């Protein structure tokens, strides 16, 4: 575990962050009337589909949802991938604005970014916007994070008060035990904001598909772990002063083993630089090959569609950030795009899965549920967008919002009072959306 200390802000970091901040912002006026008292626990289950609750795979989460607030589903941002959406959830910015535009990307100043690179994920210059733990720390609220993307980096010179470096071998039980320690702490240095991320469900879904017994077992394991956490809080009388929010970044779709298109069949690789493959392809034509590559790629194809970055569907809110390659190809649901060498290593009969498809597809739908003293009981919400979670988090903590793309009014109905939460009173003069 690391204890963070404020660091100086580098000019280069500010310049990179500035280019990723939207020009139209939602910054509600907040009138503070009392000191907040509730702790806030935010849990991300990577790759959990919204329909998992309907299928009876997660009885503990279903109970938490039925007693509190539950959205029919939450729509992820584009691209529907782990790192972009995990960071959107805690900044309220779409990937096009916070700069984590893919799990794999490139920056003209910083070089290559891959989710497996410890050097990249701990470099704050990649992470634009202001995550909720930075907002909280700047307001004097201590935060603690476990495996959330971005939390290992110094962002705007700030880290969470407590954080853990990424380790894929950390068990769910270890996270639950540490979360309970944090939530049971008292005193001026105790964290009020605790943030956890579980990736076991996504790992099983990618390897075996969302309809596999392995995926169901991973869902059951994380559901049981969260159930133990909630039961412990209840037994120690902590649920009366702890708000709990459980989300996923996006769902996951099945991919048959033989549904892989070789990149060599999509484009002449000697004419391009492929930044990312998989479900969302990022392709940059090499100088002098632009017309040839565009003629080959742009438009609709049998298993994918391609656009210039400036011409992507407007509903995706994607295409302006300089880290997005010149051409983006979106695979159709259930299809993968990999090099021929990668495909030869795969078993054609092995069912797998992936996120990264159109966010509007049912398979990509994420979960949102909330329970605690600030939330209404037994409330079912219409579908929500994941950019609206960050404004809710700031309301629960009673702190001012950083610039974001969310609608600050979207989740007011989830609170016991649309005007007050956690001892704070909020002005209705929200910025125009």
Question: Looking at the structure, do residues 47 and 87 belong to the same domain, yes or no?
Answer: yes
Distance, CA of 378 to CA of 70 (rounded, Å)? 8
Domain end (from 350, 381, 414): 350
What residues contact residue 357 under an 8 Å CB cut-off, 6+ apart?
A: 80, 253, 279, 330, 331, 332, 333, 363, 364
How are beta strands 336-338 and 260-262 bridged, if at all? Answer: parallel
Q: Looking at residue 17, what is its pLDDT?
A: 40
CA geometry: angle at 199 spanning 194 and 200, to 5°? 125
Is the pLDDT confidence value at 168 over 90? no
Confirm whether 127 is domain-assigned. yes
At residue 262, φ and ψ (nearest 5 deg) are -65, 135
Is the pLDDT confidence value at 426 over 50? no
Is the pLDDT confidence value at 73 over 70? yes
Question: Looking at the structure, do residues 46 and 94 belong to the same domain, yes or no?
Answer: yes
Question: Looking at the structure, do residues 285 and 315 belong to the same domain, yes or no?
Answer: yes
CB of 404 within 8 A of CB of 25? yes
Question: Looking at the structure, do residues 173 and 269 belong to the same domain, yes or no?
Answer: no
Confirm whether 356 is domain-assigned. no
List, for residues 12-57, the tens digit of each pLDDT value: 433 344 444 444 344 444 433 323 589 999 999 999 999 998 888 8
Q: In the chain, how many domains are there?
A: 2
The beta-strand segments (E) located in 199-318 are 242-247, 253-255, 260-262, 272-276, 280-285, 299-300, 304-308
Q: Looking at residue 167, what is its pLDDT?
A: 85
Confirm whether 37 is domain-assigned. yes
At residue 159, φ and ψ (nearest 5 deg) are -120, 165
Share of the chain above pLDDT 90, in %: 81
Distances (CA, A) of 282 to 82, 239, 275, 410: 16, 45, 5, 32
Mean pLDDT for the stretch of residues 288-317: 98
Question: Looking at the structure, do residues 113 and 175 belong to the same domain, yes or no?
Answer: yes
Residue written as token pair 């080959």: 296
Question: Looking at the structure, do residues 154 and 94 belong to the same domain, yes or no?
Answer: yes
Q: Name which of 182, 222, 187 is nearest 60 in CA terms.
A: 222
Give the residue numbers spanning the domain of 370: 17-253+361-426
Is the pLDDT confidence value at 295 over 80? yes
**Residue 361 burial (10 A CB sphere; 0-12, 13-18, 19+):** middle
Say which CATH number the domain at 287 has: 3.30.1360.180
Say which CATH number the domain at 87 has: 3.40.720.10
CB of 212 within 8 A of CB of 218? no
Distance, CA of 415 to CA of 201 (rounded, Å)? 29
Domain end (from 350, 382, 413): 350
Give the distance, in angstroms, between the CA of residue 219 and the centroid of all CA atoms in the same chain: 18
Q: Looking at residue 21, what is its pLDDT?
A: 45
Is the pLDDT confidence value at 169 over 90? no
DSSP 13-74: HHHHHHTTS-SS-----EE--S----EEEEEEETT--GGGTTTTS-HHHHHHHHHSEEES-E
Confirm whether 32 is domain-assigned. yes
Distance, CA of 4 to CA of 159 (rounded, Å)? 5
Question: Looking at the structure, do residues 377 and 330 belong to the same domain, yes or no?
Answer: no
Question: Looking at the structure, do residues 217 and 335 belong to the same domain, yes or no?
Answer: no
At residue 415, φ and ψ (nearest 5 deg) are -85, 155
Mean pLDDT score of the chain, rounded to an integer? 89
List, for residues 98-138, the tens digit of each pLDDT value: 999 999 999 999 999 998 888 999 999 999 999 999 999 99
CB of 350 within 8 A of CB of 254? no
When mean pLDDT is compared across 219-223, 235-239, 252-256, the lowest value belongs to 235-239
List, for residues 176-231, the tens digit of each pLDDT value: 999 999 999 999 999 999 999 999 999 999 999 999 999 999 999 999 999 999 99
Confirm whether 77 is domain-assigned. yes
Confirm whether 4 is domain-assigned. no
DSSP 8-class letter at 351 = -
Question: Looking at the structure, do residues 160 and 43 belong to the same domain, yes or no?
Answer: yes
Q: Looking at residue 290, what is its pLDDT?
A: 98
Share of the chain above pLDDT 70, in %: 88
Is the N-terminal amide bond of 19 cis, ω within 30° of 0? no
Would you place residue 345 in the very low, low, confident or very high pLDDT band (cuts 50, 70, 90)? confident
Q: Looking at residue 403, what is its pLDDT?
A: 96
Q: Looking at residue 36, what is its pLDDT?
A: 58
Distance, CA of 385 to CA of 433 (rounded, Å)? 14
Would you place residue 346 in the very low, low, confident or very high pLDDT band (cuts 50, 70, 90)? confident
Secondary structure, 3-state, 314-350: HHHCCCCCCCCCCEEEEECCCCEEECHHHHHCCCCCC
Confirm whether 170 is domain-assigned. yes
Question: Looking at the structure, do residues 92 and 142 belong to the same domain, yes or no?
Answer: yes
Confirm whether 2 is domain-assigned. no
Q: Name which of 19, 37, 22 is nearest 421 in CA terms.
A: 37
Question: Looking at the structure, do residues 232 and 377 belong to the same domain, yes or no?
Answer: yes
List, for residues 390-424, the tens digit of each pLDDT value: 999 999 999 999 999 999 999 999 999 743 444 44
Question: Looking at the structure, do residues 338 and 211 belong to the same domain, yes or no?
Answer: no
Domain end (from 350, 384, 403): 350
């Amino acid at each position: 575990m690391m204890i963070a200390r404020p660091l100086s802000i580098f000019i280069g970091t500010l310049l990179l962050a500035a280019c990723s901040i939207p020009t139209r912002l939602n910054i509600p006026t907040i009138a503070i009337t009392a000191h907040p008292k509730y702790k806030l626990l935010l849990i991300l289950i990577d790759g959990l589909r919204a329909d998992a609750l309907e299928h009876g795979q997660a009885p503990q989460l279903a109970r938490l949802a039925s007693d509190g607030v539950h959205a029919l589903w939450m729509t992820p941002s584009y691209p529907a991938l782990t790192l972009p959406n995990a960071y959107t959830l805690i900044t309220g910015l779409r990937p096009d604005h916070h700069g984590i535009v893919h799990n794999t990307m490139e920056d003209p100043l910083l070089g290559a970014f891959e989710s497996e690179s410890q050097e990249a994920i701990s470099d704050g210059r990649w992470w634009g916007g202001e995550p909720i733990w930075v907002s909280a720390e700047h307001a004097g609220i201590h935060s603690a994070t476990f495996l959330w993307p971005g939390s290992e980096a110094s962002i705007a010179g700030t880290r969470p008060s407590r954080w853990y470096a990424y380790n894929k071998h950390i068990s769910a039980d270890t996270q639950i035990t540490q979360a309970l320690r944090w939530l049971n702490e008292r005193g001026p240095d105790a964290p009020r904001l605790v943030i956890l991320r579980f990736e076991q469900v996504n790992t099983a879904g990618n390897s075996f598909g969302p309809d596999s017994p392995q995926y169901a077992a991973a869902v059951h394991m994380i559901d049981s772990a969260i159930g133990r956490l909630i039961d412990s809080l209840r037994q120690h009388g902590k649920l009366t002063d702890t708000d709990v929010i459980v989300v996923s970044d996006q769902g996951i779709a099945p991919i048959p083993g033989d549904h892989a298109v070789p990149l060599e069949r999509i484009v002449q690789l000697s004419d391009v630089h492929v930044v990312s493959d998989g479900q969302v392809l990022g392709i940059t034509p090499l100088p002098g090959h632009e017309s040839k590559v565009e003629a080959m790629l742009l438009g609709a194809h049998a298993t994918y569609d391609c656009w210039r970055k400036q011409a992507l569907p407007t509903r995706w809110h994607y295409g302006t950030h300089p880290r997005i390659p010149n051409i983006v190809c979106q695979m159709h649901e259930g299809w993968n795009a990999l090099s021929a060498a990668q495909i030869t290593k795969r078993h054609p009969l092995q069912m797998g899965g992936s996120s990264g498809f159109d966010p509007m597809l049912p398979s990509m739908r994420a979960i949102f549920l909330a329970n605690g003293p600030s939330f209404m009981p037994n409330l079912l919400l219409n579908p929500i967008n994941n950019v609206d979670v960050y404004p809710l988090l700031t309301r629960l903590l009673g702190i001012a919002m950083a610039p974001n793309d969310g609608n600050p009014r979207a989740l007011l109905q989830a609170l016991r009072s649309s005007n007050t939460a956690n001892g704070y009173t909020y002005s209705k003069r929200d910025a125009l959306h």
